[in-house]
Amino acid sequence: MALFKPKAAQAQVDFDYLPRHVAIIMDGNGRWAKRRGLPRTAGHAAGAETFRTIATYCQKIGIEYLTVYAFSTENWKRPLEEVSAIIGLLKKYLLESIEKMERDKIRLHFFGDLEALPPELRELTVRTDDISTHYDGMQVNVCFNYGGRDEIVRAARAFAAECAAGKKDPAQLTEADFSGYLYSAGVPDPDLVIRPSGELRISNFLLWQSAYAEFYYTDVLWPDFSKEELNKALAAYQGRSRRYGGV
C-alpha cells in the first residue's frame, strides 16, 4: 500500500504501482536562469530547491530509491565560478538536510569520486553517509562527480586487482558479481529514468544500471519540474509494457 495518496492526481497515477527506483538527470538549470536574465548559478540554486521538493514528494508517496545526477565527470569543463557554486550548493544542502534525514530516516548515499571535493566537504559527505546507513526510509543517491563510464572502469580495476591477488577468477565473473563493484552495489536497477530540459541523451548517466529502465523525457526545465510533472512521468511509466527482451 502507498503511504499517501494525493487527491488531485489519483485519476492519473496508481500509487499502488509505483516504480521502486526513480532516477533523474536534473538538467536545464542554466537555460532556466538565462531565460530570466539571471546568472547560471541562480539556476543551480533553483534546481537545488526543486530537488528538495521532489525528494520530499517521492518519500511521501513511497518511492524506495531516488537517484539524482547532480554533477558529472564532464561538468569540470565548465567555468570555475559555476563549478564552485555547484560545490557550494552541495555543502549548503548537506548541512541543511541532516535534520530532515534524521526525522524521515532517509538514507543518503553518494555515487561518484568524492576525492576531488574539498576535504571539509568530503568529510561531510562521509558523515551523512554514515549517519544514514542504518535508517530504513527512502534511499537517495546523489551522483556527484559521477560518470557511467568512469564507474565501470573503476569496477573493472577493482575486480582486476582481486584477480591479480588471486582472490577472484575472471572466468567466474557474472553480471550480478560485476554489479557489486559499482557505486550502486546492492541497489536495484532504476525502473524509470527522467530527463527534463528536452535533451534526448543519456549523458553518461547510469550506463550499466539503466539497461532496461523506462525513459521519460520532457521539455520542462529542472527548476520548473514539479510534483505534477513527476506524476506525469509516473503515469507514463505505468502505461509502459516492460518485456526485458521477452514477448
Strand 192-195 relative to strand 21-25: parallel, antiparallel, unpaired? parallel
Q: Round to whole Å and give the CA distance between 146 and 193.
A: 16
* Contact call for residue 24 and ligand IPE (CB under 6 A): no
Given the rule CB under 6 A, which of 6-14, 19-27, 100-108, 228-236 is the region that contacts ligand IPE? 19-27
Q: Which does 71 bind (CB under 5 to 8 A by kind): ligand IPE, Mg ion, none?
A: ligand IPE
Q: What Rg do the C-alpha atoms of the chain give, in angstroms?
A: 18
Is the Cβ–Cβ distance between 67 and 111 less than 8 Å?
yes
With contacts defined by CB under 6 A, how many residues of the chain interact with ligand IPE?
A: 17
Q: Round to whole Å and give the CA distance between 37 and 14.
A: 39
Q: Round to whole Å and give the CA distance between 182 and 137.
A: 22
Q: Annotated catalytic, 75?
A: yes
User: What's the closest the beta carbon of residue 27 comes to Mg ion, in angstroms?
Assistant: 4
* Contact call for residue 150 and ligand IPE (CB under 6 A): no
Q: Annotated catalytic, 16?
A: no
Nearer to ligand IPE among residue 71 and residue 216 (C-beta): 71
Q: What are residue 243's phi and psi, to 5 degrees?
A: -110, -15
Q: Pick one of 184, 197, 209, 218: the residue that binds ligand IPE (CB under 6 A).
A: 197
With contacts defined by CB under 5 A, how many residues of the chain interact with Mg ion?
A: 1
In eight-state DSSP terms, residue 201 is S
Which is nearest to 127 in space by CA: 157, 88, 101? Answer: 101
Q: At a CB cut-off of 8 Å and minimum separation 6, what does 177 contact?
A: none
Given the rule CB under 6 A, which of 90-98, 121-129, 186-194, 198-206 is the region that contacts ligand IPE? 198-206
Nearer to Mg ion among residue 132 and residue 197 (C-beta): 197
Which grid cell sits at 167?
A: 582472490
CA torsion, ordered 231, 216, 154, 143, to nearest 10 deg:
-40
Q: Which does 147 bind (CB under 5 to 8 A by kind): ligand IPE, Mg ion, none?
A: none
Nearer to ligand IPE among residue 25 and residue 155 (C-beta): 25
> Which residues contribute to the site for ligand IPE (CB under 6 A)?
25-31, 69-72, 75, 86, 197, 199, 201, 203
> Which residues contribute to the site for Mg ion (CB under 5 A)?
27
Instruction: Please identify every residue annotated as catalytic.
Output: 27, 75
